[in-house]
């Protein structure tokens, strides 16, 4: 009997071009996504070496990180951003790469449009010069972030030198309580295993709570795998995956679809497959999560007080917590709920999809954002923006006193002018609460779209369940 294989192993094995004794495998890459920030030096490298892009037809480019969200023109962008975006345009046109540029009706955040256009498919290898490439693993693809040198490798050879990562099974069993979402699941996992807990591994998310998630929730889950150090997170494809993909622009059609389905159905891990590590979390016991610190593992159920460094036995952890609370200017032992916020950001490749916006709108409808609070809602793609507008979500946001923007990374990374001022507090649906991530001196509480919307209404960190009884 053949050795039972994990999902990762199956995808890996069929993409190995060659394997020498003394070197890493040459791994073939099915889809390479490219954005403006991490690619310029790779294109320069190609030019210097006189190389072409091997497979422009397996390469897709979008503008998202430093693009304005107030308008679709570069008039408001700063000079550096404009220069980078212009360079990106010439790189794509010189090397024949399809580009979703500022005027393109399907432009958006790279990890949002890949799935939305049906480019992301089960069993693929997908890379991008961006750590949240893990998002695409929601479809049962092996998808991970790479650096710019590797971007150049893939542009030139459609391949990468890689060692096979270890496997880490993450089981979420049970049913989520109302008000608890995929974002809370992943924040709970990261809080449990730590920011380096998944280093060297690829997560496979499984269990009844994962099966019950729609594709957008699964993307949220896989998106933040990297925040626990895992380069990728994967979920075995199932009917929900196939239903999502059917009919999308780049999804296979007709006989090719049937053939693809046969392949995709064989991807789930075999019974008895062995993982290097595993963890189980009872999803029915989860609460809405919120972070209090300066990395995504410093998070807790929203009802918990800010932890006290004095109670931390490990000196390194104590020092880290002290440093984080100093930056955040938070008092140990005090509840986080009720803490005033200045800005609420709903967006990013973690939580900017239609279902996220709908959830936020469900609380904002007929209510007002608290005085003095700035609410920024930034859809993940132009497609999502138009769909949300067709449903009236833009109007709900505006009527509540919030700002409704064009698609982009926006305040997730604060490269385009959407940013916190020093000392400001934000509840944010993005993925990183690192010092200064959302603007120099800015302070971030990571949470779900529901928690973000509830906090915008009260002007304080707020448990969304208080709005739901």
The C-alpha atoms of residue 127 and residue 288 are separated, in whole angstroms, by 31
If contact means CB under 5 to 8 A according to the sort of partner, which of ligand SF4, other proteins, none does residue 109 touch? ligand SF4
Where in 283-339 does DSSP place strands (E)?
A: 289-291, 299-301
Q: Which is nearer to ligand SF4, 167 or 429 (CB)?
A: 429
The secondary structure of 168-225, three-state, reads EEEEEECCCCCCCCHHHHHHHHHHHHCCCCCCCEEEEEECHHHHCCCHHHHHHHHHHH
Choose the contact partner of 375 out of other proteins, ligand SF4, none; CB within 5 to 8 A by kind.
Answer: none
Helices first, then strands: H and E counts in the chain = 15, 19
- Judged by beta carbon, residue 131 or residue 223, the one nearer other proteins is 131
**116 is a contact residue toward other proteins (CB under 8 A):** no
Contacts of 83 (CB under 8 A, 6+ apart): none
* 349 contacts ligand SF4 (rule: CB under 6 A): yes
Least spacing, CB of residue 111 vs ligand SF4, in Å: 6
Residue from 81, 188, 330, 409 touching ligand SF4 (CB under 6 A): that is 409
What is the C-alpha to C-alpha distance for residues 238 and 258, in angstroms, rounded to an integer? 14
Q: Which of residues 415-454 bind ligand SF4 (CB under 6 A)?
A: 430-431
Tell me which residues in 77-96 interact with other proteins (CB under 8 A). 78, 80-81, 83-84, 87
- Per-residue binder mask for other proteins (CB under 8 A), 142-181, x = binder: ---xxxxxx-xx--xxxxxx-x-x----------------
Residues 455, 447: contact at Cβ < 8 Å? yes
Tell me the C-alpha distance between 24 and 159, whole Å.
Answer: 12
CB of 56 to other proteins, least distance (A): 14
Binding mask 240-279 for other proteins (x = CB under 8 A): ----------------------------------------
By beta-carbon proximity to other proteins, the closer residue of 159 and 355 is 159
DSSP annotation of 460: B
DSSP 8-state code for residue 381: B
Q: Residue 397 and residue 420: Cα distance in Å, rounded?
A: 20
Chain residues binding ligand SF4 by CB under 6 A are 64-65, 109-111, 130, 132, 348-349, 409, 412-413, 430-431
């Amino acid at each position: 009997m053949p050795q039972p294989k994990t999902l990762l192993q199956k995808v890996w094995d069929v993409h190995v071009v060659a394997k020498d004794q003394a070197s890493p495998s040459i791994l073939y890459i099915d889809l390479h996504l490219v954005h403006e920030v991490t690619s310029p030096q790779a294109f320069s490298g190609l030019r210097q070496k006189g190389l072409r892009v091997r497979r422009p037809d397996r390469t897709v480019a979008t503008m998202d990180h430093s693009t304005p969200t107030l308008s679709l023109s570069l008039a408001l962008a700063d000079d550096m951003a404009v220069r980078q975006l212009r360079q990106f345009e010439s790189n794509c046109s010189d090397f024949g790469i399809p580009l979703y540029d500022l005027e393109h009706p399907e432009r958006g955040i790279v990890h949002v449009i890949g799935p939305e256009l049906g480019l992301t498919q089960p069993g693929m290898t997908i890379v991008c010069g961006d750590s949240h490439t893990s998002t695409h693993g929601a479809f049962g693809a092996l998808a991970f972030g790479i650096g710019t040198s590797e971007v150049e490798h893939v542009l030139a050879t459609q391949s990468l030198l890689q060692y096979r990562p270890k496997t880490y099974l993450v089981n979420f069993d049970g049913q989520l309580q109302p008000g608890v979402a995929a974002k809370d699941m992943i924040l709970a996992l990261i809080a449990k295993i730590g920011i380096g807990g998944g280093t060297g591994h690829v997560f496979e998310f499984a269990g009844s709570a994962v099966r019950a998630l729609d594709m957008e929730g699964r993307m949220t889950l896989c998106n933040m795998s990297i925040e626990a150090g895992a380069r990728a997170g994967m979920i075995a494809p199932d009917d929900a995956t196939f239903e999502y993909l059917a009919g999308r622009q780049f999804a296979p059609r007709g006989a090719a679809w049937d053939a693809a389905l046969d392949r995709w159905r064989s991807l789930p891990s075999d019974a008895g497959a062995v993982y290097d590590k595993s963890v189980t979390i009872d999803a029915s016991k989860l609460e809405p999560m919120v972070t209090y610190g300066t990395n995504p593992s410093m998070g807790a159920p929203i009802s918990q007080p800010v932890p006290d460094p004095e109670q931390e036995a490990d000196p390194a952890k104590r020092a880290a917590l002290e440093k984080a609370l100093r930056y955040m200017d938070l008092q140990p032992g005090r509840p986080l709920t009720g803490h005033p916020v200045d800005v609420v950001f709903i967006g990013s490749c973690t939580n900017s999809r239609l279902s996220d916006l709908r959830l936020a709108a469900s609380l904002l409808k007929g209510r007002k954002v608290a005085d003095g609070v700035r609410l920024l809602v930034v859809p993940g793609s132009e497609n999502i923006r138009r769909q949300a507008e067709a449903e009236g979500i833009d109007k709900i946001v505006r009527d509540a006193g919030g700002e409704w923007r064009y698609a982009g990374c926006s305040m997730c990374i604060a490269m385009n002018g959407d940013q916190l001022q020093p000392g400001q507090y934000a509840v944010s649906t993005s993925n990183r609460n690192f010092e200064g991530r959302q603007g120099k001196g800015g302070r971030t509480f990571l949470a779900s779209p529901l928690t973000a919307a509830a906090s915008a209404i009260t002007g304080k960190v707020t448990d969304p369940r208080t709005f739901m009884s």
